[in-house]
Structure 1
Amino acid sequence: MEPASGQPELPLSLLYAGVTVVLGAAVIHRLLRQELQMGVPAALSLLLLLLAGWVCFVALPGYPGLCIFSLACLLSYCTLPDSELLSVQDKAILITGCDSGFGFALAKYLDKLGFTVFAGVLYLDGPGAKDLKTSGSNRLMVLQLDVTSLEQITKSYAQVKSQLKNRGLWALVNNAGILEFVADAELLPMSTYKHCMDVNFFGAVELTKMFLPLLRQAKGRLVNISSMAGTTPLLGFAAYGASKAALSMFSNVLRQELAIWGVKVATIQPSAFKTGIFGTTDQWSNQHTQIMQQLSPDVRKDYGENYIIAFRGKYGKWQASLQDELQPVLNDISIALIAKNPKSHYSPGTAANFFPFIYRYLPTRLSDFIFYHLLKSGQDVPDGVKEIGL
């Protein structure tokens, strides 16, 4: 069949092949110029794109399928990770929560890379702060910084600005965070919700608002350490997950608003790494005692002593499931800091991609079933559920 112009119409399969060839040529061109960071995730996304092209060709015959495939190719190409890295020379970074975990490891890692590092700690005389002072270079400065204290945030701003003179601050890494206790949302006291929001969200917002003038001056970066729990509903993590979800949304809005200032915003959403955020067995025992004391008689009766006590025994199981090696997180944060065109989101850790995939793409009933059986860890059901036979 020929169109009205009399020219033969190109076969649809040839047009699909043409789009695929153009995409492949563009990717190869950037690879040859060493402008792409082609890791496993990027390679898998391109393979899935080819599969999507076949699905469009079969399920959406005609030009609608071709248009969708072409748009998918364009979006995929634009979101491929850029490997062009900026120099670290004369770049200063403020990191919160450097007493332990990600913050402590990141302060050391970035110091070795050559950054000027301001490491905010909760305890200036704590072991983490002392280690950073003794093992760091003369470019690393340890600051007293409780992110829930406006007074300390203001003082830190004055110290950083004084040290930088007129350079501006290249990056702020909002890393400070707490988990508190893992238990059913109904069992957690309001103090736990408020504390998580104060540290994980409001503290990051307060600090960001304070330091944004210095970030705008440097046209730098804002990197917020959120969590997989901020995008995926995980049993027992209602307080922590809600605070991290708020931080993720805050980051997404700021990314759009700060683009006109030349400030780039990235969100890091790690899965389960061993950072000390779970606290110690003594801390869990104390928190468990506080929870038991504040429960109303009705709630205590409905859940039962054994069900509530079981959460305290989860500590060892959670700790055993955490990843020891923090380098995947450090790598993603450093790329977010020095890549010319960083991604908006980084998800280090296997579960950080697997769990959100289950939640987003599987039917809700199926994903709820999977999460329940993955996370309940052999835990019994509440007494009230047993009584009514659910």
Structure 2
Amino acid sequence: MDALAGSPLGWLCVGITALFGVTILCRAKRSLAEKANVLAWSLLPVLLGLLCMATLGAGRGLVACAACLISSMYLGSRELLPVGDKAVLITGSDTGIGHALAKYLDNLGFIVFAGVLNKDGPGAEELRRTCSRRLSLLQLDITNATQVQEAYLKVSKKVQNTGLWGVVNNAGVLGFPADGELLPMNTYRQCMEVNFFGAVEVSKTFLPLLRKSQGRLVNMSSMAGGIPLPRYAAYGASKAALSMFSGVMRQELSKWGIKVAAIHPSGFRTGIQGTSDLWDKQEKELLENLPADTRQAYGEDYLLGLKSYLPRMPTYCDANLSPVLSAILHALLAKRPRGLYTPGKGAYMPLCIFCYFPLWFYDFFIRKMLSTDSVPRALRTPEAESKNL
């Protein structure tokens, strides 16, 4: 201890540990009901850090204190608030993630407002049959400002002075996966209208209720909203806009005590690709809007082969939605939620490659990962091939 007392590094070690201890005590004082829990996971690392300083000396003690601080922060990020009487609005609850999330949160004891596109549809009927009376169904087309306002009035009447704890902007459309040049402008507009403008409309409308509770805004983006992926120009652009909106809102709403998170899942089986009837309609619209020279350059077999990608999508996707549901629950209840969640296999690695590696390497990686045998007609000719060498 003599060597520790005479060392500037030792005093730094003591200062860090003392600051850490004061922070923990302040947290316990603010939340007396959880004092025992706070002390259980936090005070022990402090004592361990002091013991390390006393026995290992200043240098190793500092390392021990840093390790204690990091482990405590990690444990703190895993600490969840009680469900209590928290109310959450979920959009797009007819099918997929929204449907599963409504059941999941209802089972945990949340008061759930499940917004559905069709209040008389099979998804809404299943929620009525399987969920508790705490769950309320709302007719909610998020592109319809009147329905959004009506939903706000119904929710505000029920939550009254307590406010709304969470809004999960889940509703979304995929569009027809095809080269960006081929997609009709209507596909771009529809994706932006639902995936971005609809989410913004809902967020802006319900923020007064979130402000009352100092609650959470959770936006369901996509891996395609963080990295460029071939054939997802319309969908990816709309989700990228939603991700940027989430980031800005996270910064701006922090002064109100509202926490904002974006979810970037990898491939999960949600049914977002739609039905065969919808594919036929989208394919017809795509073909009818193509200029003759573009149609000639790509070729009929390439264009007609685009639709074959849609039935294969579920085979590449995970049917287990648990990672996504767990991420949303953490965003809703964690004392220190993350700003970005990447649930699912392969969701984080492409994002890291895109952010930290040269773009040519990322493009090479994506080409290999999403390789396809389909080649436009013009690129099969010797003349076109020689131009691209």
Query: Which of 96, 100, 118 is the matching residue for 2:95?
Result: 100
Q: Is the 8 A contact 1:189 1:294 kept in 2?
A: yes
Q: Is the 8 A contact 2:175 2:273 kept in 1?
A: yes
Query: Which of 157, 173, 177 is the matching residue for 2:172?
Result: 177
1:140 pairs with 2:174:
no
1:188 pairs with 2:183:
yes
- 2:356 maps to 361
Kindly state the Cα deviation for residue 319 of structure 1 after the two structures are TM-superposed. Answer: 1.7
- 1:164 maps to 159
Partner SS, residue 172 of structure 1:
strand
1:201 pairs with 2:196:
yes
- 1:332 maps to 327
Partner SS, residue 233 of structure 1:
coil
Partner SS, residue 162 of structure 2:
coil
Measured against aligned partners, the alpha-carbon deviations of 1:256-289 in whole angstroms (never above 9, x if no partner) come to 1111111111111101000010112332222112
Q: Is the 8 A contact 2:95 2:123 kept in 1?
A: yes
Partner SS, residue 252 of structure 2:
helix
1:310 pairs with 2:305:
yes
Q: 1:8 to 1:258 in 2, by over 3 A?
A: closer
- 2:105 maps to 110
Q: Displaced runs of 4+ in structure 1, greater than 6 A?
A: 7-10, 29-32, 73-77
**Matching residue's letter, 1:94:** L
Whose helix proportion is higher, 1 or 2? 2
Q: In structure 2, how many angstroms separate the alpha carbons of the residues matched to 1:9 and 1:212?
A: 49
Partner SS, residue 255 of structure 1:
helix
Q: In structure 2, how many angstroms separate the alpha carbons of the residues matched to 1:333 and 1:373?
A: 31
Q: 1:192 to 1:79 in 2, by over 3 A?
A: farther
Q: Is the 8 A contact 2:302 2:376 kept in 1?
A: yes
**Matching residue's letter, 1:321:** Y
Identity over aligned residues, as a percent?
A: 50
Kindly state the Cα deviation for residue 308 of structure 1 after the two structures are TM-superposed. Answer: 1.2
Query: Which of 77, 81, 84 is the matching residue for 1:82?
Result: 77
Taking the TM superposition and a 5 Å limit, the aligned residue runs for 1:1-390 are 33-34=40-41, 82-376=77-371, 378-387=372-381, 388-389=384-385, 390=388
**Matching residue's letter, 2:302:** Y
RMSD of Structure 2 on Structure 1 (CA): 2.9
Partner SS, residue 84 of structure 1:
coil
Q: In structure 2, how many angstroms separate the alpha carbons of the residues matched to 1:104 and 1:323?
A: 16
Q: In structure 1, how many angstroms separate the alpha carbons of the residues matched to 2:201 and 2:302?
A: 38
Partner SS, residue 229 of structure 1:
helix
**Matching residue's letter, 1:308:** L
Kindly state the Cα deviation for residue 317 of structure 1 after the two structures are TM-superposed. Answer: 2.2
- 2:47 maps to none
Q: Is the 8 A contact 2:41 2:72 kept in 1?
A: no
Q: In structure 1, how many angstroms separate the alpha carbons of the residues matched to 2:241 and 2:69?
A: 30
Q: Is the 8 A contact 1:148 1:203 kept in 2?
A: yes
Q: 1:353 to 1:339 in 2, by over 3 A?
A: same
Q: Is the 8 A contact 1:81 1:343 kept in 2?
A: no
Q: In structure 2, how many angstroms separate the alpha carbons of the residues matched to 1:75 and 1:214?
A: 34
Q: In structure 2, how many angstroms separate the alpha carbons of the residues matched to 1:347 and 1:32?
A: 31
Q: In structure 1, how many angstroms separate the alpha carbons of the residues matched to 2:250 and 2:8?
A: 44
Q: In structure 2, how many angstroms separate the alpha carbons of the residues matched to 1:81 and 1:290?
A: 51
Kindly state the Cα deviation for residue 245 of structure 1 after the two structures are TM-superposed. Answer: 0.5
State the TM-score, normalized to the length of structure 2. 0.81
Q: Is the 8 A contact 1:307 1:379 kept in 2?
A: no
Number of residues paired by the alignment? 339
Partner SS, residue 161 of structure 2:
coil
Q: Is the 8 A contact 1:193 1:240 kept in 2?
A: yes
Partner SS, residue 115 of structure 2:
strand
Q: In structure 2, how many angstroms separate the alpha carbons of the residues matched to 1:368 and 1:189?
A: 25
Measured against aligned partners, the alpha-carbon deviations of 1:46-83 in whole angstroms (never above 9, x if no partner) come to xxxxxxxxxxxxxxxxxxxxxxxx99x99998677612
State the TM-score, normalized to the length of structure 1. 0.81
Q: In structure 1, how many angstroms separate the alpha carbons of the residues matched to 2:276 and 2:355?
A: 34
Q: 1:309 to 1:104 in 2, by over 3 A?
A: same
Q: In structure 2, how many angstroms separate the alpha carbons of the residues matched to 1:77 and 1:227?
A: 30
